[in-house]
Structure 1
């Protein structure tokens, strides 16, 4: 899997490929990251990549031509490196508040692919003609605005790479993630480690029992309760999809009764 990031700040993106589980996987060749600066595809002495918006208004707009030339260079490089097959170029993805919100289900879908070309915008925006011509998909992290697309791109890449085979030391870690369909899309349960008593607070007795069925049932109940308290919308989604068991519903009823008391 290969990701190509078009960015005015390539140094911001280096850490992901150098540290942590993603960095180790990068060193082993599980995935690769290339950065491309649109300033390298300008033709004037000032390496200009932005200009004032037509119609007036605040801020500057990234110009279409340097971005287009960067895309064409990336596609040629990916093809030569065998990252893409002829006629099947990697999708071009723009990190944008107007995009589809990135979720765990999408990260899993991406993990089954071959990567993408990610466009990290800056300033007030990008010339719409570039978007109309080259961008296949727009992705957002949520209803807020960042100074540029770099951080959003790194979040997207990290969420995908950690799902690739061999990236996590324990493959089951990803299976226990929040939002995983294996957990019917609910939040993960709380976790504890040594010591058994920390500042007067003990680890729940069930987790010390060694009884795997009891532990699994406890974690499920905690997952249901935590999701109800923090993300009730996920409970409703799971219920509408028929993913809550009778035991889950009984847990919710019991929790509701406790709150009413």
Structure 2
């Protein structure tokens, strides 16, 4: 009887512990409004955004926030997980704006995308020649901002110091998180005259999802297509872009 009571107590404690951990797991938080801000500096330092970014994309463990002033739209993102940091530094943070309020392609900015030759050079260096924090070495290999669908700008890489008003910066903060900021002028998105309608935004760490299709199922006794007796059909790979998280909200007005 005492043994049964002990087991019951242990099971109860484990169940309570599991429930506590589950309750503490952070769920996705979607913004309900965009703030009007005029104090944002694009330098990768997120201190002006407050102690923490208020919104959260659970799938990529990504914190983010969007704001605008009278002429520009801003975005900030922060990622703490090491594997997602690696993907963000090699594939870029992605911010997309669809001025029609539709969940489809629109003006987008991807940053950082390191120069591949510079990355190869970094990888070939001796251990004592590499930076203590390899992430800093990757950031030094960034040469451009990649843009798509901007007015009066050709799709592709543009200079970090450009004349289009498009800026982006990434920095590693004191808590070891990778922090991102970017700004896009309304004139590049076609929002100069359309401030009252809803706008769709997509936030994500850029990348490709690989999935296996087919699963190598048996072909049957006699087989076909050259597989022979009890042959199997090989699986194939399909790719798709990371979907990201969508937000549809009107722009903020001056207070």
Normalising by structure 2, we get a TM-score of: 0.27
Higher RCO structure, 1 or 2 (CA under 8 Å, sep 6+): 2
Higher helix share: 1
Higher strand share: 2
Normalising by structure 1, we get a TM-score of: 0.26
